Amino acid sequence: MRNPPRQPVEWVLITGATHGIGLALAKECLRQGMGVAAVGLSDANLSGARETFSAIPNAAYRLLGQDLIETGAIDRVLAWLEAESITVNYLINNAGFGRGGLFENTDWGEYRTMLMLNNQVMVELTYRLLPHLRACRGGILNISSMEATLPLPYKTVYTGTKAFVYNFSLALREEFRHYGVSVSVLCPGPVITNADGLRRLEAQGRRGRLLVAMPDDIAPQAIRGMLTGKAVIVPGWLIRALIATSYVTPRPLRMRILEKLFSRYRDEPATVVSPSALKNVSN
């Protein structure tokens, strides 16, 4: 699937690019004249993204429907890039999802999928694309969360995966500096990207709504930060203030406060999510 109105100077590969934050980032890249190689699930969002991209004047894009946790998925993505003669200048590792609740109330299969998508796919894509990024002295944007700096009770695995993204990105930034490849990490607050995100927001009541953003709200700052090589991108002054406050709050007190804030999750029933349902959640 393609539209070839012009040959862009630079291409960006975006995972999870047909929905939520990934879609917003893809649109922002297209508006800035970059070519977008968008990877998403083969579902209704793929068709919707094609319509959205085609409405942007002079947009150059390619779309691939691929479940990234399938065996051989990364090989298929790389083969697709080669077949399309795309040299990747920028990589945006966006694909991922989260879930809240008591640790034991979530099915292990969902945790396994979360770990694979949020962490393993990101690391493998970065590893496999490094030769291309070194050749063009490009950049990487990894999507973490403000929760990467807050070990949240009732979101144990999700915040663990996002802490991995955060630490991996900053450490890799120092290594890749010697190659001329920049690494940035985006740490947004709550962003409404799917029905589960809306449910988690509603669980926090008015307090949560003060922090919430929509994907299109954060995309311009995220892409600007990636292109300028900013290390950590935190959209919104209130989110930045909360993160700064957490650093100076003694850890035992901070953890008691966080447990209290998210304790509503304790009353939620255990959930068993089918594999097909998991394919419909992403950043």
Which residues are known catalytic residues?
158
Q: Which helix (H) or strand (E) holds 90?
A: strand 88-93
Find residue 39's DSSP bridge partners.
Answer: 15, 64
Specify the residue for token string 């349902």. Answer: 277
3-class secondary-structure state, position 249: coil
| Whole-angstrom distance, CA of residue 152 vs CA of residue 74 | 31
3-class secondary-structure state, position 44: helix
Q: Can you read off the two tokens belonging to residue 265?
A: 């999750």
Per-residue DSSP letter, 136 = H
| Whole-angstrom distance, CA of residue 69 vs CA of residue 81 | 18
CB 35 within 8 A of CB 60: yes
Q: Can you read off the two tokens belonging to residue 219?
A: 């995309």
The two beta strands, 11-15 and 88-93, are parallel
| Whole-angstrom distance, CA of residue 264 vs CA of residue 220 | 33
**Residues shown for the chain:** 283
| Whole-angstrom distance, CA of residue 202 vs CA of residue 209 | 8
Q: Can you read off the two tokens belonging to residue 101?
A: 């609740």
